[in-house]
A and B are shown apart, each in its own frame.
Chain A
Amino acid sequence: MEGERSGPVQPVLIGDTHRLVAADVGVARSRTMTTHTLSEATSRAVVSAAGIEVSPYVTAPDAAAAVEAAAELDRPLVAKLCGDSIAHKSERGLVRLDLASDEALERATNELVAAARPEDGEVELLLSTMVAGRRELIAGLTHDPQFGMTVMLGVGGVLAEAIADVSFRLAPITAVDAHEMIDELDTQRLLGPFRGEPAVDRRAVAAVLVGLSDLAAGDPAIVSVDLNPLVIVDGRPVAVDALVERTGARP
């Protein structure tokens, strides 16, 4: 299933950047930071460069180019309208699933382009193979006001906030830390062989976590990363969506 972000995340929008106020109740300390998100396409490129597998994808400026660009991708496809200012696509209805034919793809991408708003700025189409896997994890980075950058692994993908079966570590982490994060998830049965799918490749999940940690170490401007969902495909974790947030106003 192709997941998309949704749910209770409600950043305060000021212009086209998120103003993030993180209050630390324990020490009554507060911090404000101006940040901006990268488009899904740029975010995918960033996490791919860190060695994290993402579902096969291409980008295209318009519907006609989309059909041509997507010719090599396995189907069905998902089409999304993405841009630096569009962090939460499914809330805006900017995602089209299960596109098998060129006709369906063209129709969907035309609709997406038409749905763009002036305030979205530069947009493009992102076309990706819908990978198959019943299980979803979530992984990411987030900056904690007390402890600094943290690495997270959780169960549930789009349901992660409701399930709240998560494990955190402070970046940087070692492979041993990463394996312990996997081991401490409550929902271990989901990680074994499941409904005809093989067990989750723990080394591959650990590699994603270490990859995130390396990403944070290599780019101090990173504030957060979401790999949500991380779909388990034949046991391997594949990010089908990515969102990178960096400090500063949008360039």
Chain B
Amino acid sequence: MTTDLSPLFEPRGVVVAGASSHPGKFGFVSLHNILACGYEGDVFALGREAGEVLGVQVLDSADQIPEGRADLVFVCTPPSANEALIREVAARGVRAVFMAAGGYSEAGADGRAAEDDLVALCDELGLILAGPNGQGVVSPPVDLCAQIVAPYPPRGAIAIASQSGNFVSSFQNYATQTGIGVSRAVSAGNAAQLGIVDYLDWFAQDPQTAVSLIYVEGIEDGRQFYERAAAVARVKPIVVLKGGASTGGQRAAASHTGALATDDAVFDGMCRQAGLVRARNVEDAFEAAASFATQPLPAGNRVAVLTSVGGWGVLTADAMAGTTLDLVELPSELRAELDAKLPPRWSRNNPIDMAGGETRDTIPEVLELIAAHPDIDSVIFLGLGIQSNTAALMRSGPFYPDHGIERIVDFHERQDARYATTAAEVSERHGKPILVATELAVAAPDNAGVVATRRSGRLCYAAADRAVRALDAMSRYATFRQRRGL
């Protein structure tokens, strides 16, 4: 049974408890972030200081909150104050608690007891409880940024739940950098009542979410996690980043099988069996999720690599070794079609090295030919932005705009923008992933090709091997589904 988390992610109004005029305190920062990011629901501040904070009247009692106007309370007050507070706000119609405050189970035996009491209280009152000791909840579809950290990411389709609040920030930083946005994000904190799987359950039926991205360290009940995450993965992809993979080595065991059962080996097998996509680091995890959020799922593992420079294609082919991806032999009729578009020196195989022989329409036409072919499931395109990179030096030099430089600079930038736009359009039309990779994504984020990729709603991958790993993640998930008739 999925717990309804809409009071947490789509509250009618928010109460900040422990509101403070001190700009270093959680009770100020959270209020600031909620107000500054454009949340349109009612915002109430509860605190001991009379007057206003950031233009919001500080109330000294929850009785002053109009009934039914706030669903969520964001709590920055210490454990000793919170039972009375929660009872009072619940009486005004609050249905969800985000407990940012610490001092609970992370703080020893007394804290553990306080946390047990907190859960019992919320259960008694029918409240959902996120945290305690969490950094916040973010929900761009309703412009909600109730967190004590940054950043506030753009809207998108990635839902994040993390056992470590700082990974929520890390993923949101990548979302902000790349433009591939977030639907929901929550720091589970001590996960006293709501655990990662409870968030996953809700994300599965959340229309704003296309893919879930989770960070986990400890899992209390592995069986339950497996069964519920597996059920969610049948609906939407889940990308998992696991901390503590190297701890918990071989166990004392009477059997050889037991001696081989490291925590990581068992966790890895569980992920594969459940259809969870496991990533090896933060970047890979984000980029896999960004790919699921923005690209069609590939029908198979047959990849064509299109490159304007030979060496890039070679390294991309190398990166595909050890993945599930297949750098297919080019079908002969496709090779013949490409012969008609490319100079004689082109590679005549996969990777498709155009050998610098592109004219004005070559790349759009070749992308279309490749993506249209039934024996190709996805494309990695390398070489976007070269022309604009050349143009950037001309534009910043002393001779610009004279000597015809302005015209050629404009042409180059238009071309790169067109390649990026075409890649997204062709991908959509054929329902096949087309991943664009160039280091310019980070080296020159203002490059016209990079900007246009971002504007098309796609991720511009910062390196070919990163595009390979992201595509491999999609391919593995697609294969998982196909083998099980999903």
Asked if A24 and B248 make an inter-chain contact with CB atoms under 8 angstroms apart, the answer reads: yes
Which A residues lie within 8 Å of B54 (CB)? Answer: none
A250 to B49, CA, bound (A): 69
Which B residues lie within 8 Å of A154 (CB)? Answer: 260
Instruction: Mark interface residues in A180-197 (1 if CB within 8 Å of B CB, else 0).
Output: 110010000000000000
Instruction: Mark interface residues in A1-44 (1 if CB within 8 Å of B CB, else 0).
Output: 00001011111100000101111111100000001010000000
Which B residues lie within 8 Å of A164 (CB)? Answer: 260
User: Among B5-13, B169-177, B251-259, B342-350, which stretch is in contact with chain A?
Assistant: B251-259
Tell yes or no: A142 within 8 A of B by CB.
yes
A170 to B244, CA, bound (A): 20
Asked if A245 and B248 make an inter-chain contact with CB atoms under 8 angstroms apart, the answer reads: no
Which A residues lie within 8 Å of B36 (CB)? Answer: none
User: Which single member of B248, B253, B265 contacts A9 (CB below 8 Å)?
Assistant: B253
**Given contact pairs A22-B251, A148-B223, A176-B484, A166 touches B265 in the complex (Cβ within 8 A):** yes
Tell yes or no: B247 within 8 A of A by CB.
yes
Tell yes or no: A150 within 8 A of B by CB.
yes
Tell yes or no: B219 within 8 A of A by CB.
yes
A87 to B422, CA, bound (A): 66
Asked if B261 and A27 make an inter-chain contact with CB atoms under 8 angstroms apart, the answer reads: no
CB distance from A136 to the nearest CB of B (A): 12
- Nearest CB in chain A to that of B480: its residue: A180
Asked if A144 and B272 make an inter-chain contact with CB atoms under 8 angstroms apart, the answer reads: no
- Nearest CB in chain A to that of B261: its residue: A142
> Size band of the B side of the interface?
20 to 34
Tell yes or no: B24 within 8 A of A by CB.
no
Tell yes or no: A173 within 8 A of B by CB.
yes
Which A residues lie within 8 Å of B483 (CB)? Answer: 176, 180
User: Which single member of B222, B248, B252, B268 contacts A25 (CB below 8 Å)?
Assistant: B248
CB distance from B477 to the nearest CB of A (A): 13
- Count chain A CB atoms within 10 A of each CB in B244, B252, B263, B272 and give the residue with the most: B252
A152 to B256, CA, bound (A): 10
Tell yes or no: B217 within 8 A of A by CB.
yes
Tell yes or no: B124 within 8 A of A by CB.
no
CB distance from A244 to the nearest CB of B (A): 9
Which A residues lie within 8 Å of B397 (CB)? Answer: none
Asked if B223 and A8 make an inter-chain contact with CB atoms under 8 angstroms apart, the answer reads: no
| Number of cross-chain contacts by CB at 8 Å | 131
User: Which single member of A12, A142, A146, A225 contacts B252 (CB below 8 Å)?
Assistant: A12
- Nearest CB in chain A to that of B274: its residue: A170
Within 8 A of A (CB), among B218-241: 218-220, 222-223, 226
CB distance from B260 to the nearest CB of A (A): 5
**Given contact pairs A26-B219, A168-B269, A150 touches B255 in the complex (Cβ within 8 A):** no
A25 to B153, CA, bound (A): 34
Asked if A138 and B222 make an inter-chain contact with CB atoms under 8 angstroms apart, the answer reads: no
Asked if B254 and A20 make an inter-chain contact with CB atoms under 8 angstroms apart, the answer reads: yes
A177 to B226, CA, bound (A): 14
Tell yes or no: B299 within 8 A of A by CB.
no
Which B residues lie within 8 Å of A147 (CB)? Answer: 222-223, 226, 266-267, 270
Which B residues lie within 8 Å of A139 (CB)? Answer: 257
User: Which single member of B219, B226, B266, B270 contacts A27 (CB below 8 Å)?
Assistant: B219
Which A residues lie within 8 Å of B257 (CB)? Answer: 138-142, 152, 224-226, 228
A137 to B117, CA, bound (A): 51
Which A residues lie within 8 Å of B226 (CB)? Answer: 147, 170
Which B residues lie within 8 Å of A62 (CB)? Answer: none
CB distance from B41 to the nearest CB of A (A): 37
Asked if A160 and B223 make an inter-chain contact with CB atoms under 8 angstroms apart, the answer reads: no
User: Which single member of B222, B248, B252 contacts A10 (CB below 8 Å)?
Assistant: B252
Tell yes or no: A238 within 8 A of B by CB.
no
Which B residues lie within 8 Å of A225 (CB)? Answer: 255, 257
CB distance from A212 to the nearest CB of B (A): 9
Tell yes or no: A81 within 8 A of B by CB.
no
Asked if A173 and B273 make an inter-chain contact with CB atoms under 8 angstroms apart, the answer reads: yes
Asked if A144 and B261 make an inter-chain contact with CB atoms under 8 angstroms apart, the answer reads: yes
CB distance from B35 to the nearest CB of A (A): 38
A5 to B223, CA, bound (A): 31
Tell yes or no: A169 within 8 A of B by CB.
yes
**Given contact pairs A160-B260, A168-B268, A26 touches B254 in the complex (Cβ within 8 A):** no
CB distance from A3 to the nearest CB of B (A): 11
Asked if A9 and B254 make an inter-chain contact with CB atoms under 8 angstroms apart, the answer reads: yes
A20 to B258, CA, bound (A): 11
User: Which single member of A142, A144, A181 contacts B255 (CB below 8 Å)?
Assistant: A142
Asked if A150 and B272 make an inter-chain contact with CB atoms under 8 angstroms apart, the answer reads: no
Asked if B272 and A226 make an inter-chain contact with CB atoms under 8 angstroms apart, the answer reads: no
A22 to B249, CA, bound (A): 11
Asked if A20 and B266 make an inter-chain contact with CB atoms under 8 angstroms apart, the answer reads: no
Within 8 A of A (CB), among B270-293: 270, 272-273
A100 to B222, CA, bound (A): 50
- Nearest CB in chain A to that of B243: its residue: A26
A35 to B255, CA, bound (A): 11
Which A residues lie within 8 Å of B273 (CB)? Answer: 169-170, 173, 177
Tell yes or no: A243 within 8 A of B by CB.
yes
Asked if A245 and B254 make an inter-chain contact with CB atoms under 8 angstroms apart, the answer reads: yes
User: Which single member of A12, A26, A166 contacts B260 (CB below 8 Å)?
Assistant: A166
Asked if B222 and A142 make an inter-chain contact with CB atoms under 8 angstroms apart, the answer reads: no
A138 to B260, CA, bound (A): 10
A142 to B262, CA, bound (A): 11
Asked if A146 and B260 make an inter-chain contact with CB atoms under 8 angstroms apart, the answer reads: no
- Nearest CB in chain A to that of B258: its residue: A142
Instruction: Mark interface residues in A146-172 (1 if CB within 8 Å of B CB, else 0).
Output: 111010101000001100101111100
Within 8 A of A (CB), among B459-486: 483-484
Asked if B255 and A224 make an inter-chain contact with CB atoms under 8 angstroms apart, the answer reads: yes
- Nearest CB in chain A to that of B259: its residue: A9
Query: Given A11-B254, A150-B261, list of 19 further CB < 8 A pairs?
Result: A11-B252, A20-B254, A25-B263, A26-B248, A27-B220, A138-B257, A140-B255, A144-B222, A147-B266, A147-B267, A148-B222, A150-B266, A154-B260, A224-B253, A224-B255, A224-B257, A224-B258, A245-B254, A245-B255
> What is the interface of chain B, defined by CB distance below 8 A to chain A?
217-220, 222-223, 226, 244, 247-248, 250-261, 263, 265-270, 272-273, 483-484
A-B contact pairs, 16 of them (CB 8 A): A7-B259, A9-B255, A9-B256, A18-B254, A22-B253, A24-B248, A25-B247, A25-B263, A26-B263, A140-B255, A140-B257, A147-B222, A148-B223, A166-B265, A170-B269, A224-B254
The 8 A-B residue pairs whose C-beta atoms are closest, nearest first, are: A140-B257, A168-B269, A146-B222, A147-B222, A25-B248, A224-B255, A142-B258, A26-B218
